[in-house]
């Protein structure tokens, strides 16, 4: 539904040129909910604005549906692309009521020539979708942030776009509201069968809402995949660091990978680690282990099981789980155990993890 090939965009700021997006390529399938995830300033908004037609790309091709909207000497302006967009700042029009905000695109937009009754119906239908129909007559400055966000959503949906673009729509809301709206937005978009392109810097949002995630860094897409893949098999240190929490142990390759398993010497002992890359003996690497992959005690059955000795320094009770800080040598590792585990602060324990559940990256 959205096809982006080799998209690049840079900005001139005074004398120097900032490259915001460089050579980005991806494709969003019809009906898919696709997320661009990355730290602030990595070029997510710029990518989205190029798709919306609010920026002119320096290079690359963008197609929405079957239609090339940018590239090959074509540039279709924003108001002629069949999209809806929700802005980070909401951008609801403060001089209008909730109803008129949603009605304006129908009255003066691309759709054109609708009868008054029809406009009325479509606006109310759209407001009902976001549960704002009871506040239709209110002026938007008198709404809360969450309510303004819903109006922005209704306004984007009322033109029945093929594609909905959302730029960090939840970042200005408080945590509780964010949890609610996450689900609601996803269900709404899925229910209407619209293709969604979502931009966020919040990995929880990205992992919980999306069909597929693209992780961006410094204007490039560094990894793309379903949320589970991105979380479990990060392809770079950056992705491992940025998506979810991870422990990092520096070391040196002792035995280069054979059958996908390498042996890495660390100050805390030799570890067997899963790897598909080619490393030479003596290469400096980082071993990445997710907190929930660490177990208490030694499991002798598996020869590829690694063990680390440590002391529990702190325990945080999380209800379903225990979050522990385990001191291993000079390093503090984060580990998550089931809440039934019999551990106390100060206990000497052994941590074990499978070679398959850790990964190594070049340092």
- Residues lying near ligand ADP in the complex (CB under 6 A): 11, 13, 18, 20, 38, 40-46
CA–CA separation, 205 vs 198, rounded Å?
A: 10
Give min distance, CB of 40 to ligand ADP, in A.
4
- By the rule CB under 5 A, 45 interacts with Mg ion: yes
Q: Which does 18 bind (CB under 5 to 8 A by kind): Mg ion, ligand ADP, other proteins, none?
A: ligand ADP
Choice between 223 and 275, CB closer to ligand ADP: 223
Task: Lay out the site mask for Mg ion across 121-160 (x = CB under 5 A, - = otherwise).
Answer: ----------------------------------------
Closer residue to ligand ADP in complex, CB, 22/120: 22
Candidates 20-28, 42-50, 232-240, 351-359; binding stretch for Mg ion (CB under 5 A): 42-50
The alpha carbon of residue 89 and the mean position of all alpha carbons in its chain are separated, in whole angstroms, by: 19
For residues 64 and 6, the answer to whether their CB atoms sit within 8 Å is no
Q: Which of 17, 74, 89, 281 binds other proteins (CB under 8 A)?
A: 89
Q: How far is the CB of 110 from other proteins (least distance, A)?
A: 3
Instruction: Please list every residue from 231 through 250 that binds other proteins, using CB under 8 A.
Output: none
Residue 67 found at the interface with other proteins (CB under 8 A): no
Q: Which is nearer to other proteins, 142 or 245 (CB)?
A: 142
Q: Which stretch binds other proteins (CB under 8 A): 57-65, 107-115, 278-286, 315-323?
A: 107-115
Q: Which residues contact 158 (CB under 8 A, 6 or more apart)?
A: 102, 103, 105, 106, 122, 123, 126
Contact region for Mg ion (CB under 5 A) — 38-46, 71-79, 326-334, 350-358? Answer: 38-46
Is 223 a binding residue for Mg ion by CB under 5 A? The answer is no
Using CB under 5 A as the binding rule, whether residue 47 contacts Mg ion is answered as: no
């Amino acid at each position: 539904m959205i096809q982006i090939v080799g998209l690049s965009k840079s900005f001139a700021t005074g004398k120097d040129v900032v490259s915001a997006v460089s050579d980005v390529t991806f494709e969003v399938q019809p009906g898919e909910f696709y997320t661009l995830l990355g730290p602030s300033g990595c070029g997510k908004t710029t990518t989205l604005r190029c798709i919306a037609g609010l920026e002119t790309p320096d290079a690359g091709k963008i197609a929405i549906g079957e239609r090339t909207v940018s590239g090959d000497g074509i540039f279709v302006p924003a108001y002629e692309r069949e999209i809806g967009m929700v802005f980070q700042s909401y951008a609801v029009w403060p001089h209008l009521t909730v109803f008129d905000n949603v009605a304006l695109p129908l009255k003066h937009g691309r759709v054109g020539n609708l009868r008054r009754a029809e406009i009325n119906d479509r606006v109310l239908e759209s407001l009902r979708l976001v549960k704002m129909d009871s506040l239709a007559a209110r002026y938007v400055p008198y709404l809360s942030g969450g309510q303004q966000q819903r109006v922005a959503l209704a306004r984007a949906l009322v033109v029945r776009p093929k594609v909905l673009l959302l730029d960090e729509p939840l970042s200005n809301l408080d945590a509780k509201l964010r949890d609610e709206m996450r689900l609601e937005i996803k269900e709404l978009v899925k229910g209407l069968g619209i293709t969604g392109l979502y931009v966020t810097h919040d990995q929880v949002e990205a992992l919980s809402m999306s069909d597929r995630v693209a992780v961006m860094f410094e204007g490039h897409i560094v990894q793309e995949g379903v949320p589970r893949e991105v979380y479990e098999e990060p392809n770079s240190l950056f992705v491992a660091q940025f998506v979810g929490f991870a422990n990092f142990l520096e070391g040196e390759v002792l035995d280069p990978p054979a059958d996908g398993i390498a042996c890495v010497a660390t100050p805390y002992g030799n570890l067997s680690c899963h790897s598909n890359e080619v490393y030479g003996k003596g290469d400096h690497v980082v071993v990445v282990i997710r907190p929930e992959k660490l177990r208490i005690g030694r499991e002798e059955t598996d020869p590829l099981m690694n063990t680390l000795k440590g002391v529990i320094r702190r325990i945080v009770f999380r209800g379903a789980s225990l979050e522990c800080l385990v001191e291993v040598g000079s390093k503090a590792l984060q580990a998550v155990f089931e809440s039934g585990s019999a551990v106390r602060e100060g206990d000497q324990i052994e941590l074990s993890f499978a070679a398959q559940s850790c990964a190594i990256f070049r340092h």
